[in-house]
Structure 1
């Protein structure tokens, strides 16, 4: 019996110990099944040399991004916030645009807020209207411009800078 079957039988025995009726003994509740699945996935990912450093409660998207990163299909970009915090986001290696980078930043921040159990809502429209992404003395103004056009490659650093109001522009 492998570890997964053992986890499942342990969960079933816990259900039996709770004194459920005969017909409920062979089934797990949704919450119990989710818990067993999460535990099993965490154990499996923890043993994998490539995926072992992923956080608890990892999403399918994060696993896919990590695999693409290991295969050289994606790149990591460091985002420096105004408060000095640094975030690492993953975007595709080929054809990635500024918009892809913005979406990756949004996913990273939302996942971090969810994991820290904060119920804070960010207005991303406000964030992008009040801040530029900045790399090598260039503002990343065009959402559809490719990151390579700005000289952004694997392990590049991009900063958030406050947008200043330009003269003559309302």
Structure 2
């Protein structure tokens, strides 16, 4: 009987990306026209492959003062994985500036999609109805107010006696 045809590329994406990365590097080195092309970023290559294969979605992070950033992430990702992808992308963009303290950022801010804050890090993006080309923004977390301590209050009798 017919033998099952093997895939031309091994399991996606690691082995495939390694081979593709090596071929692209050879192409850049051997082609004089491409000699001035900067070294490509493996993360960007992974993003392109994920997106083109249909296994990834594009999330647009809108920042009020600095414009929008496109982030490609696997479809079944959690909010925590999206936060990590945001950190990686923004660290790449801000490489020449000072390092961003993401632990502090996530203590003070959430990501939001529409009017809904993405508060649960373990929830998948699909559960929040994020689809391809969804726009998320940074929003400040609501402040947790400390309960007021019960101070020493004078009882009404003492207050009245002070005024008499």
2:51 aligned to which of 60, 69, 73: 69
2:68 paired with 1:86: yes
Cα distance in 2 for residues equivalent to 1:122 and 1:84? 15
2:78 paired with 1:100: no
Match of 2:94 in 1: 113
Cα distance in 2 for residues equivalent to 1:88 and 1:125? 22
Structure in which a larger fraction of residues adopt helix: 1
Q: Deviations over 1:53-103 (max 9, x none)?
A: xx943221221221111111101000111325111101002x210011111
Match of 1:161 in 2: 139
- Which runs of no fewer than 5 residues in structure 2 stay unpaired? 1-24, 148-164
Moved over 6 A (4+): none
Cα distance in 1 for residues equivalent to 2:38 and 2:143? 42
Cα distance in 2 for residues equivalent to 1:124 and 1:113? 13
Cα distance in 2 for residues equivalent to 1:57 and 1:110? 18
Q: TM-score, normalised by structure 2?
A: 0.64
Q: Deviations over 1:97-153 (max 9, x none)?
A: 001111111111111123xxx141110011111111011211111111000111101
Q: TM-score, normalised by structure 1?
A: 0.62
- Which runs of no fewer than 5 residues in structure 1 stay unpaired? 1-36, 47-54
